[in-house]
Structure 1
Amino acid sequence: MSGTLALSSLIASLDREGLSGLVRSRRIAAPTSVKDSLDLATELLKPDSITQALTLLTREDLLLLAPEGAPELSDAERTSALVRLRGLGLVGGNDTELHEVSHALEALLRTRGLTLADIRETPEHAEPAVAEPADTSAWFAAALTATGQAAWVLRDLERSPAKLNRNGDVASAWLRTVEDRLSIPDADEVVELLRAAELAVPEGGWCVSRGAAWLAAESAERWNILASSAIGLMPRQLLGHLSAAEQGSSITVVVEAFPRHYPLATEPTFASIERAALLWERLGITVAGQFSPAGVAVLEGALSGNPVSTELDLPDTATGIYIQPDLSVVVPGPLSARDEAALAAIALPEQLGVASTLRISEATLSEAFHRGLSGDEIRGLVDGLALTGIPQPVDYLITTLSERAGSIIVSPHFGEAGRTRVEFARPELRATVLVDRRLAHLQLQEPPAFDEIARATRPLLSKLRADHVLAALLDARYPARGGGGLLTPTDSRGVPARESAPDAEAQTPATRAASAAEALIERVLESGDEGPTDISRQVTLAIRDRTRLQVTVEMRGVVRSFTIVPVSLAAGRMRALDEAAGVERTLPLEAITEITQIR
């Protein structure tokens, strides 16, 4: 006998929060086809959806779904299990057994080579016990390293958004570039943390930064945000077994015991656990698999108060940096958010950690000039950071680049020979631009012979727009600036222009699934206000499955209940057999106030 009606009854009784939890916890193959609670029940009772839900159940929940039940469970355990099963849509209204679920469980056990006796076998009690005491006091080293890496990756996303592939993941080419440029290993892990914290979000096929406020925070607050998000990446099934964790507790013990508590768990679940544990280790939540004091605090949610810095024993903020004659930079400890941003404007990391090493180079200073900083502004940044003043090599490099900066001026031209005028302060720079193949598309040319003034100053002309020419020169790293009212872009590497409405194909699978789930929830909630329509579909289903129903009818102020077998439905009236009375009844659907399936 179909359980669709019983499950539909349960779904119809859920509020928004309960319905949202149900929809997000189950696999729905065709969400757009769901119009009401009956459609949703039909989707949830498909074998694939049921199997997916069963793989995430505890042994107690599985036993309760088994045909023989679970007599060994206490009343408290049984009540708790039924609450979980109702939330997953694996029992019907009034905790009715769903035969589709029972059959799927039997089939899954056969596939895994398991029996109910195997499930009933009580697993060994395994809590996160304290193993050999491990030194977790250095957790802050991993914490500051990961937080610093996240800050650098986030700044790079601000300057150069990352292209997303069809799966919604950041393109590997961008990750490799970041790893090489910023000396950050396994940048995909850092991006995953940023996306989990919603500091990096998908937008129009690109991954863009939304972390300005996070970058303005200090190290302790930054770490708390990342760590809290990393806790959320761990499957909730495992988190439920970490409530007794304390400093020095081993997460390995709990992970090894997990299959005994969740005997039908699948490889994707184990992979998610392994991935989350890896990120926990990277952040210092665990050290060599054992919980750090800060890890326990964030796991318990004890760091929600302000200020977080008083809860975390992190090293003091460094007052400045040391710049060596070879242009390497030694940072003796974590910097304030303001000093860190200033240093990021003029240097690139070579090694990040509690004490970090960076390097100032011609390329990094040229990048600073490219983003609109002047020589005086760069000197001000260096002077404000360096504890020993500005070294002579750095001062010389700033002076040299200052002289070159803006030595190409791009301005609109209104003559017949072109739309853009490019002027050069030095002849050798002009000659270099003319032979640069990267700029061949600009079609730069000499002024016409009759324009004696132009030929005397030796500019070049282009038929392209001035802003296009300026952007091309900046992309090729030439010291160009706008003239004649043309503004120099502060950064030419932003998100490519797109139409105001995002392309559906550019959305990631995760965003598409979230949108579909939201729309489904709204449709089901709205259908609940249509009473008779939903009842008519339940009656239709009962006619198809020859299901006995108990209906409550209110007519002329009189309320009566009948146990019937529906026969037909037409013109808003149901014809049914009342077996107890031995008569046939015709009931208007609008008079039915409650309908329940009888097994």
Structure 2
Amino acid sequence: MTTTLALAARLRALPDDELAALLRARPVRRAGISDFFDLAEALLDPESVQRALAPLDRLRLATLAVLGEADGAQTVEGITTRLGGHPATAGTTTEAVRATVDALAALALLHPADDGAAAYDAVTARLAAWPALGLPRPAALLDTAPPAVPEPLTPAELAASERLAAERAFEAVAGVSELLTELGREGARELQKGGLALPAAKRLADALAVDAAVVPVALSVAARAGLAAVADGLWLPTAAVAAWQHSTTADRWRDLAGAWLAGLPGDVRALLTARSRSPWGESLRAHLAWLYPAAVDETEQRVDQYVREAEWLGVTAGRFPGDAGALLLEAGPAAATVAMVVHFPAEVSQVYLQHDLSVISPGPLAPDVEARLRTMADLESRALASTFRFSAASIDRAVTAGETAASIHDFLAAVSLTGVPQPLDYLIADAVERHGRVRVRDAGPGAEGQAVVRSDDATLLGTIAVDQSLSSLRLLRADERTLVSRFPRDVVYWALSDARYPVVAEDASGALVTPQRRRIAERTAAAATRDTAAELVARLRSADPAEEDTGEQWLARQLDQAVRARQTVVVQVAMPDGRLVDYLLEPTGIGGGRLRGRDRAADIERTLPLSSVKGLRSVD
């Protein structure tokens, strides 16, 4: 077995970057840690060891169990042989064991030796105490075989699963698109404790026509793809949305699925890839409970997040990966997209324009056609055959964005299967003629209020002044053709636009401008945080007495630790003739400038002057 003394020496010898990485993986309280012995004791504290053991998978736990049973250090080949004889780890390769040993050594849970490792006493003792905590005993970690993997789907079941997966994938792309449109219209507030504010969640659920529980899934998928982010406490679209919205449906799904894949933690990705042709339902939960026996609930919650997103994205259907889902894990998003689009419904680029000012799409609209249509018509219902509707306000919105009567008419004539109905022609002409009857600009210096609303149509202005839906603007009449508000121009402009008044915005000189309602979440570099691990490493290095092993303080702490642990060590002593002699000694006491201990090789008591002791090392 290996003790604190060996770990302290190892920590002292580690390069700074490796030591800092260890401390980031296993944070310790900095208070009370003044040297490497204190750090070793903190890392081998039972509670600290338990926190490090709990999230480990069964192979790593089984490796520690095997080392705990062994007498001294074991080679990688020896560990592999021992593991191969147990049901839980049968078939484990040497390469897998070597990677496991390296990972456990990086966590200071085992002591590396020549092409192998040894167990720390504290880690072995903690594993032995697991049954008292309701956790598996070390032997059970080795002897419990994994649950059986269910049989793959039949060809008929697989075909049905693939069709369902493609339907969900198509709906997910449309859902993310609608989510981003709604976030651009009005951001969604993020609570300080995490999660969306309830009003925002309900609004987004209505916009996506889904249950409120689906909104966080859609938002997570969009965020992983870099399409949505939080800025000033609001979820908003990012600058990447414009290009994504105009991509093909296949490319948009590829981006979403690829981001989901890239976001998988390494262990989760390996687990799901290994089951790319098997169900992910209850059998996956059973496997997780076997694989992570000390962190069952935590692991299920972590994996469930990705499984829910996979189901919504169409990577799985009914928790069964289809061909596209399997290819996503095995070959990447490009190959998966080729398999997925085969099952997508055909997109259309033409619509039916109705006399009642509605628009009916006979199938999923091509993204570029839908994006242009939505600048001049409002979405009423989304499905494989969506419905839109024109109104004076929607046409006015398009004109504000730069469209003209001619450009609107030309676009509609090109995409319509039924021509442009006369009522729609009248609506376009009337809306364009009325456009700009109400004008909003910033109030000048010394003016009453922050925005001024003007119109030559006194009747229309009077209607605005008494409109209860605009009461929050606190509009006050300055004269027969002017209203003032204490709110900024853009706030007043959008309130009037939402109330469907033919409003335009002006700058101070009277030139027309187009206020941008769509806020973008800028991607910023993560704020620098203190690297407490690096700070602790620097403090330990500065307090270390010397680089050589003959540092008096270092030797004193080593000897004190060996005496307290009654640990046999190799003591290097300088003889009067200049020779260095090694004694295999069990120290029993220090005092009066002398070290006392029993020489295990000669089986006699020795007393050595401390001034002659030049080094000390563990026999582990």
The question of a shared fold, defined as TM-score above 0.5 by the shorter chain, is answered with yes
Matches of residues 234-249 of structure 1 in structure 2 within 5 Å? 236-245=266-275, 249=278
Paired position in structure 1 for 2:145: 123
Within the candidate set 78, 99, 119, 1:97 is matched to 119
Q: Which range is displaced more, 37-46 or 228-237?
A: 37-46
The answer to whether the aligner puts 1:110 opposite 2:132 as a matched pair is: yes
Q: Which range is displaced more, 3-12 or 478-487?
A: 3-12
Aligned letter for 1:423?
R
Within the candidate set 434, 449, 455, 1:424 is matched to 455
Within the candidate set 503, 508, 512, 1:480 is matched to 503
Matches of residues 399-418 of structure 1 in structure 2 within 5 Å? 399-412=429-442, 418=448
Within the candidate set 153, 161, 176, 1:136 is matched to 161
The answer to whether the aligner puts 1:458 opposite 2:481 as a matched pair is: yes
Matches of residues 431-470 of structure 1 in structure 2 within 5 Å? 431-437=462-468, 439-440=470-471, 443-447=474-478, 458-462=481-485, 469-470=492-493
Contact 2:230 / 2:521 at 8 angstroms: preserved in 1? no
Aligned letter for 1:257?
H
Contact 2:236 / 2:521 at 8 angstroms: preserved in 1? no
How many residues in Structure 1 have an aligned counterpart in Structure 2? 560
Deviation at 1:321, TM superposition (A): 3.2
Q: For 1:170, what is the secondary structure of its paired residue?
A: coil
Residues 42-71 of structure 1 show CA distances to partners (whole Å, capped at 9, x for unaligned) of 775565554344333233322322332577
Aligned letter for 2:120?
L
Q: Within 1, Cα distance between the matches of 2:307 and 2:538?
A: 41
Paired position in structure 1 for 2:7: 6
Deviation at 1:173, TM superposition (A): 2.1
Report the CA distance shift for 1:58/1:471 in structure 2 as closer, same or farther (over 3 A).
closer
TM-score by length of 2: 0.73
Q: Which range is displaced more, 122-131 or 169-178?
A: 122-131
Q: Within 2, Cα distance between the matches of 1:33 and 1:218?
A: 59
Deviation at 1:177, TM superposition (A): 0.6
Q: Within 2, Cα distance between the matches of 1:34 and 1:426?
A: 79
Deviation at 1:292, TM superposition (A): 0.9
Matches of residues 203-222 of structure 1 in structure 2 within 5 Å? 203-210=231-238, 211-212=240-241, 213-222=243-252
Report the CA distance shift for 1:348/1:171 in structure 2 as closer, same or farther (over 3 A).
farther
Deviation at 1:217, TM superposition (A): 3.0
Report the CA distance shift for 1:246/1:458 in structure 2 as closer, same or farther (over 3 A).
closer
Matches of residues 60-71 of structure 1 in structure 2 within 5 Å? 60-66=59-65, 67-68=68-69
Q: Within 2, Cα distance between the matches of 1:458 and 1:308?
A: 59
Q: For 2:235, what is the secondary structure of its paired residue?
A: strand
Paired position in structure 2 for 1:372: 401
Aligned letter for 2:60?
D
The answer to whether the aligner puts 1:83 opposite 2:102 as a matched pair is: yes
Matches of residues 568-583 of structure 1 in structure 2 within 5 Å? 577=595, 582-583=607-608
Q: Within 2, Cα distance between the matches of 1:83 and 1:523?
A: 25
Contact 1:218 / 1:337 at 8 angstroms: preserved in 2? yes
Q: For 2:200, what is the secondary structure of its paired residue?
A: helix
Structure 1, gaps ≥5 residues long: 448-454, 503-510, 569-574
Contact 2:179 / 2:207 at 8 angstroms: preserved in 1? no
Contact 2:594 / 2:607 at 8 angstroms: preserved in 1? no
Paired position in structure 2 for 1:285: 315
Within the candidate set 225, 245, 248, 1:197 is matched to 225
Deviation at 1:277, TM superposition (A): 1.9
Q: Within 2, Cα distance between the matches of 1:490 and 1:587?
A: 84
Matches of residues 519-534 of structure 1 in structure 2 within 5 Å? 519-520=531-532, 523=535, 532=544
Q: Within 2, Cα distance between the matches of 1:223 and 1:266?
A: 32
Q: Within 2, Cα distance between the matches of 1:534 and 1:394?
A: 88
Deviation at 1:308, TM superposition (A): 5.4
Identity %: 23
Aligned letter for 2:279?
S
Matches of residues 491-502 of structure 1 in structure 2 within 5 Å? 491-492=516-517, 494=519
Q: Within 1, Cα distance between the matches of 2:306 and 2:385?
A: 26
Within the candidate set 169, 187, 190, 2:215 is matched to 187
Matches of residues 320-359 of structure 1 in structure 2 within 5 Å? 320-347=350-377, 349=379, 352=382, 355-359=384-388
Q: Within 1, Cα distance between the matches of 2:555 and 2:373?
A: 70
Residues 73-112 of structure 1 show CA distances to partners (whole Å, capped at 9, x for unaligned) of 1472643432332344422454443344334434443222
Contact 2:396 / 2:502 at 8 angstroms: preserved in 1? no
Q: For 2:333, what is the secondary structure of its paired residue?
A: coil
Paired position in structure 2 for 1:224: 254
Report the CA distance shift for 1:209/1:560 in structure 2 as closer, same or farther (over 3 A).
farther
Paired position in structure 2 for 1:506: none
Q: CA RMSD in A?
A: 4.8
Q: Within 1, Cα distance between the matches of 2:38 and 2:412?
A: 65
Matches of residues 558-573 of structure 1 in structure 2 within 5 Å? none
Deviation at 1:559, TM superposition (A): 12
Contact 2:465 / 2:477 at 8 angstroms: preserved in 1? no
The answer to whether the aligner puts 1:251 opposite 2:280 as a matched pair is: yes
Aligned letter for 2:227?
L
Paired position in structure 1 for 2:331: 301
Aligned letter for 2:222?
L
Report the CA distance shift for 1:3/1:437 in structure 2 as closer, same or farther (over 3 A).
farther
The answer to whether the aligner puts 1:319 opposite 2:349 as a matched pair is: yes
Report the CA distance shift for 1:598/1:489 in structure 2 as closer, same or farther (over 3 A).
farther
Q: Within 1, Cα distance between the matches of 2:546 and 2:136?
A: 40
Deviation at 1:299, TM superposition (A): 0.6
Q: Within 1, Cα distance between the matches of 2:32 and 2:471?
A: 54
The answer to whether the aligner puts 1:176 opposite 2:214 as a matched pair is: no
Q: For 2:250, what is the secondary structure of its paired residue?
A: helix
Q: Within 2, Cα distance between the matches of 1:364 and 1:576?
A: 96
Report the CA distance shift for 1:317/1:329 in structure 2 as closer, same or farther (over 3 A).
same
Q: For 1:137, what is the secondary structure of its paired residue?
A: helix
Report the CA distance shift for 1:10/1:466 in structure 2 as closer, same or farther (over 3 A).
same
Paired position in structure 2 for 1:261: 291
Deviation at 1:145, TM superposition (A): 0.8
Q: Within 1, Cα distance between the matches of 2:35 and 2:252?
A: 43
Aligned letter for 1:112?
G
Paired position in structure 1 for 2:89: none
